[in-house]
Structure 1
Amino acid sequence: MDTRQLKTLLAIESHGTFAQAADIVGLTASAVSQQIQALETELRISIFDRSSRPPKLTPQGTQVIEMARDILRREEDTKASLRGDLIAGTLMLGSVRSSALNLLPRAVVQMRSRYPALKTSLRVSLSSTLIADVAAGRLDAAIVAEHVGFPSALRWSPFLREPLWLIAPEGTELRDPIELLNTRPYIRFRSAVPLANLIDTEISRLGVVTNDVAEIDTIGSIVTCVRQGLGISVVPHVALQEPEDSRLLRIPFGQPQINRQIGIVERTVSPRGEIISRLHAVLAELCAEHGVVRKAIES
């Protein structure tokens, strides 16, 4: 197995046919076919099902694709390190669908301006999938909420600790949170994420019975609905960054006020540890007064 074979394999996967891949890698279609056959012989598997046209990846072939991406990325990172260009290569990142996700593009732009040789690849998915991918080495790090049961080989470091707010439309005169929750139309955050469970658990603890008028799975949409007067809801601080949000009524949610945390999960032993640490610092800085400095939590 050599990297030329792996690059050819990825070209086939990206462009769909052996012939198109041949044009990309600068070989004949026959040479491409010979490379793949040699790889299959070495691995003792069939990477492609050739009974279909064009050939399709077998389940084992899909595994080989993942292996090829990982090997080629490690090759790129190693070459960058040997050149002395440590902040280079490709940083494979994941993130949950969160209101905190709007911080990540800003952080990536800052990292790019400081380290122009650094590339980033971002994938958005569920926290359970991201945690598994970090543990398996398919991702260098992922942005996830505080989670129960991280594997021992992983480390989670919060960069954001923010309060939750009960928000109501502009002009709302009632200020008692319990009375608001019991009497006003309520927009529920319905999603399989820790934040939704955190909110629902506190509402139950407070003994509140809400009058639900909507169930919405994105925080941004909930804030928009509250602005338009549909009802009240509970959202994290980071979701209230638009100028028009300053006109909403904000009341601390919970007794005492509940906070939620977002952080970076990474392997405890990682070749990208230095870059991930720098990314954490940038994210904490973007969170301003709600940012969590990494060295303070690791001391």
Structure 2
Amino acid sequence: MRRTPSPIDLRALQAFVAVCENGSMTGAARQLGVSQSAISQSIAALERDQNLTLFDRESRPPRPNAAGRALLELAGPLIEHAQMVGNRIGDASRTGKMPVRLGCVDSFAATVGPELIRAVSNSERQISMWSGLTPGLGKQLHDRELDIAICTQTTLNDARIVEVPLFSEAFVVVVARSHLQGRHELDWRTLAAELPLIRYTARSVIGQQIERFALHLGISSPRRYEFDATDPLLSLVAARAGFAISTPLCLWQARHYLDEIAVMPLPPGRLGRRDFFLLHRQGEWDPFVQDIVALTRSVLEKSIQPSLARALPGLPDDALG
């Protein structure tokens, strides 16, 4: 009967990876700053504990066999996670509390993010913030590289992840103000017949969502201009190169263009809105999550919504909330 393997010793695992990378125990010893004998003993202990042979010792230099290759593939994430745990424990020791790692989509990080950082900096809680695309943030949360993620789409098939609705915003047409001068009762259908659609790239979630909505509305336009960010998109809109479909939060992120653009509503419906969610692991960070939800809604209601309403009179009342 084969005995159950013992838990893997991380130092022995580091020695194993070093031997694989260097092709010899001598090179591994030099890399880790230990004796060759220590490396040899670590490898022997690892094989004994796992009841496996990890190297083909008939080859010169010794190469990992099938079991060794499988372990090598899994070793990197294990070692990185152990280092991350050590770093976080050190951070907690210095500050008295575990820092929260928060990942946000770019439009949230650039608008609500500063207020969030300002509020948290006045408390005992420490926070680290990253921005990125929704798919990457979801993976980072799943891999425990983040504690909390704020995304615009939930695709994680993980019962341990809690999804908290934050808010939603409507897609709106964006056009240069100069294009509207002297014209009355111009609607989005007329605009779509006159100008090409300037798009967000299809590799972004917002780009995919807008493309589905545009097709639903019957907006057909050649793919001539596509951007990852709102700034270059609005620069072309302001230059009357075309019109765009965007959201209030994205417009506020690039608010230095607000004097040059105008907005028009689009037909309401589920396809016409973008939802934001806060994701976290069940039973983890619950009080802090509620703080983020309350603060986010306060920033939207008291700061961003009134400012957008003043700058863009054509924005629907329910465009953000």
Q: Normalization by structure 2: what TM-score?
A: 0.64
Counterpart selection for 2:263 from 238, 248, 251: 251
Structure 1 gaps, min length 5 = 292-299
Question: Using the alignment, how far apart are the partners of 2:40 and 2:286 within structure 1?
Answer: 39
Q: Which moved more, 1:217-226 or 1:179-188?
A: 217-226
Say how many residue pairs are matched.
279
Secondary structure in 2 matching 1:172: helix
Question: Using the alignment, how far apart are the partners of 1:196 and 1:218 within structure 2?
Answer: 10
Secondary structure in 1 matching 2:210: helix
Question: Using the alignment, how far apart are the partners of 2:249 and 2:291 within structure 1?
Answer: 21
Secondary structure in 2 matching 1:213: coil
In the alignment, does 2:114 pair up with 1:106?
yes
Secondary structure in 1 matching 2:224: strand
The match for 1:180 is: 191
Alpha-carbon deviations, 1:111-144, whole Å to 9, x = none? 76245773637473551x5434434544323222
Letter in 2 for 1:251: V
Question: Using the alignment, how far apart are the partners of 1:108 and 1:19 within structure 2?
Answer: 47
Secondary structure in 1 matching 2:249: helix
Letter in 2 for 1:267: R
Q: Identity of aligned pairs, percent?
A: 13
The 1:78/1:213 distance shift into structure 2, 3 A limit, reads closer
Secondary structure in 2 matching 1:255: coil
The 1:77/1:178 distance shift into structure 2, 3 A limit, reads same
CA contact (8 A) 1:95 1:123 kept: yes
Structure 2 gaps, min length 5 = 1-7, 306-321
Instruction: Describe how 1:98-177 pairs up with structure 2 within 5 A.
Output: 98-103=106-111, 106=114, 109-110=117-118, 113-114=121-122, 118=126, 120=128, 122=130, 124=132, 127=135, 129-147=136-154, 150-173=157-180, 174=183, 175-177=186-188
The match for 1:33 is: 39
Secondary structure in 2 matching 1:161: strand
Flag the structure with larger Rg: 2
Letter in 2 for 1:260: R
- The alpha-carbon deviation at position 264 of structure 1 amounts to 2.0
Question: Using the alignment, how far apart are the partners of 2:134 and 2:40 within structure 1?
Answer: 39
The 1:110/1:34 distance shift into structure 2, 3 A limit, reads farther
Instruction: Describe how 1:217-228 pairs up with structure 2 within 5 A.
Output: 217-228=228-239
- The alpha-carbon deviation at position 62 of structure 1 amounts to 4.4
The match for 2:277 is: 263
- The alpha-carbon deviation at position 234 of structure 1 amounts to 0.8
Question: Using the alignment, how far apart are the partners of 2:86 and 2:126 within structure 1?
Answer: 15
Question: Using the alignment, how far apart are the partners of 1:185 and 1:161 within structure 2?
Answer: 27
Letter in 2 for 1:179: T
CA contact (8 A) 1:92 1:140 kept: yes
CA contact (8 A) 1:168 1:232 kept: yes
CA contact (8 A) 1:234 1:253 kept: no
Secondary structure in 1 matching 2:262: strand
Q: Which moved more, 1:152-161 or 1:70-79?
A: 70-79
Alpha-carbon deviations, 1:78-113, whole Å to 9, x = none? 7888x7977324x344445x4334247536743762
The 1:148/1:121 distance shift into structure 2, 3 A limit, reads closer
Secondary structure in 2 matching 1:66: helix
